[in-house]
Structure 1
Amino acid sequence: MGQTNKSKTQLLTIASFVIGIAVWFAMAKIPAIGAILTDPVTIVKSFWTELTSGRLWQNIYVSLFRVLGGFSLGLAAAIPIAFLMGWYNPIRSIVEPWIQFFRTIPPIALIPLVIVAQGVGESAKITVIFVSTFLVMVISIYQGVRNVDPTLIKAARVLGARDRDIFFEVIVPASFPYILIGVRLGLASAWTTLVAAELTGASKGLGNMIMEASLYFRMDVVILGIIVIGVIGLLMDKGVLYLERRLTGWQELRK
């Protein structure tokens, strides 16, 4: 039964992809739309041209470096701060209002300040992505800490567990699924912020490739850059989902 459902899901996914490509072809044939939405065949040709020239690989590498750099720093900061907020009320009272305040500010609004403070080097781009991913992940992980079943904590105290033991043996494992959710949201935020981050004087990168192509109305390259960002982001998300299934399988057993 499970195998049958899996096969149906795969067939639906393939059908959705085929229908999407067909609709894309049809829309590209409409003159008013086709001037902007280049057809898939032209996109494939542009992909091959950019790939064989080496420019695409270079842009992918540079953008990956920025995304993973900002995301890694954001995750490293989000985990301890989220746990401290969830575990200690005074820290939550001090930190949470500021996080909620900055969370409402678009990362692109910080670009002028970042440029003045750090110039237009790699650190400026990584900083913009760091801020975006940190604010997304810290809230998600914090909610995970707050949503830990109080019964588990009470049971641990009855058995004589100390605060340190409760934190590492109850709070952290119970919050782990929320950490993975935060990672998924953080990666998505990193990629959506990439183009804004590369506004800080970038000469390479997928966001820069899209912006340069738009200046010369090379819509095939613009759409190619958008597709590449989407594909890489999707593959990263699938990777985190795979880890989630492998590392949180114990939750299904509990159910």
Structure 2
Amino acid sequence: MANGRAGELVLRERRSLGGADWLYARLRQLFKNSIVILALAAVWEVAPRTGLVNVTFFPPLSEVAAAWWQLLLSGDLGDHAAASLSRSLGGFLLAIAVSIPLGLAIGWWKPVSEYLNPFLELMRNTAALAILPIFILLLGLGETSKVAIVFYACSFPLLLNTISGVKNVDPLLIKSARSMGLSSVGLFRKVILPASIPTIFVGIRQAGASSILVLVAAEMVGATSGLGYLIQYSQFSFLITEMYAGILTISVIGLIVNYVLVTLEQRLTAWKPSARE
């Protein structure tokens, strides 16, 4: 249904603008979205070659791209990326499975909120990397400690946004639903949960970013694989182009993850009117 609605909007836009005008509008939007990135790429390429920055520590983008390609062909980049993604995705999905139901319960049932809120306020103000040594001491240097730190870092954005989403549902919607005789279960399923999804997805996107950033830092501390390990090893071995290649890989992965989550959010919230509408 969401696909059909989106397709209908695209067709309407094409008809209103005409084929050539619609293509021009799309290309113009693509240019606006990419012009700053292209400008930064140009500066990155030119600045080291003209002596504005030290080429030893800040090589041109073309050399970084060549190093990235060599890492890809050798299989090292794929192995490190796969290790990081498996850890990140494991902790991220586990946080979704635990934090969203818990956040819904805290937001909807007052007794649960009264018991758990003080503990959550204490824990959410403790930075994930600050307690990384505890995870390593208790769980070791293996995969479990890394998945656990990602789970911890992702849990609180998910929890807080889920609680906020439930508590900020329009009271008129709740009153209207109750006036129509909906049970508590029906009210929660048909009103509270759908109305909370946009705010919950804010937390999901924040957690998606945290899952990558925290993991990379954890891999720099204690790991023998992963993109964080690749960056740290390249830095200490003075393989500067490989270090920047690892950083760029993390940036691209972050963009892809955000795009996937935004697309999923648009499909699940197709009922919400857009700003244009």
Give the alignment's TM-score, normalised by structure 2: 0.86
CA distance in 1 between counterparts of 2:101 and 2:180 reads: 27
Report the equivalent of 2:29. Answer: 9
Distance 2:145 2:34 in 1: 40
Which residue of 1 is the match for residue 10 of structure 2?
none
1:108 touches 1:197 (CA, 8 Å); kept in 2?
yes
In the TM superposition, what whole-angstrom CA distance separates every residue of 1:93-141 from its partner, at most 9, and x where no partner exists?
Answer: 2222322222222211111111111111100000001000011111111
Post-superposition shift, 1:45?
Answer: 1.4
Per-residue CA shift, 1:49-105, capped at 9, x if unaligned?
A: 111111111001100000000101111111111101101122212222322222222
Structure 2 residue ranges without an equivalent (≥5)? 1-15
> d(CA) in 2 for partners of 1:136 and 1:35?
39
Mapped to 2, the partners of 1:223 and 1:104 lie a distance apart of 32
- The match for 1:237 is 258
Is there any run of 5+ residues in structure 1 with no aligned partner, and where?
none
Q: What amino acid is aligned across from residue 23 of structure 1 in structure 2?
A: V
In the TM superposition, residue 200 of structure 1 has moved relative to its aligned partner by: 5.0
Structure 2 residue aligned with 1:23 = 43
Letter in 1 for 2:70: T
1:253 shift after superposition: 7.3
Partner SS, residue 196 of structure 1: helix
Match of 1:92 in 2: 113
Amino acid in the other structure paired with 2:46:
A
Residues 1:112 and 1:246: Cα distance change in structure 2 (over 3 Å): same
2:230 alignment counterpart = 209
Instruction: Give the 4+ runs in structure 1 shifted more than 6 A.
Output: none
Partner residue of 2:171 out of 150, 158, 167: 150
Q: Distance in 2 between matches of 1:200 and 1:20?
A: 30
Pick aligned residue for 1:117 from 119, 138, 145: 138
1:140 maps onto 2:193 in alignment: no
Q: CA deviation digits over 1:175-203, x for unaligned, max 9?
A: 11122222111100111101222145211
**TM-score calculated relative to the size of structure 1:** 0.94
**Secondary structure at 1:198 match in 2:** helix
- Give the equivalent residue in structure 2 for 1:227: 248
1:38 aligns with 2:59: yes
8 Å Cα contact 1:177-1:244 kept in structure 2: yes
Verify the 8 A CA contact 1:129 1:193 in the aligned structure 2. yes
Q: 1:210 to 1:253 in 2, by over 3 A?
A: closer
Map 1:177-216 onto structure 2 (within 5 A): 177-216=198-237
- Cα offset, 1:222, TM superposition: 1.2
Give the secondary-structure state (helix, strand or coil) at the position aligned to 1:167: helix
* 1:106 partner SS: coil
Could you tell me which residue of structure 1 aligns to residue 151 of structure 2? 130
Tell me what 2:88 maps to.
Answer: 67
Q: Structure 1 119/52 Cα, relative in aligned 2: closer, same or farther at 3 Å?
A: same
CA distance in structure 2 between the partners assigned to 1:160 and 1:86 by the alignment? 22
Cα gap change, 1:28 to 1:94, in 2 (>3 Å): farther
Matches within 5 A, 1:44-83: 44-83=65-104
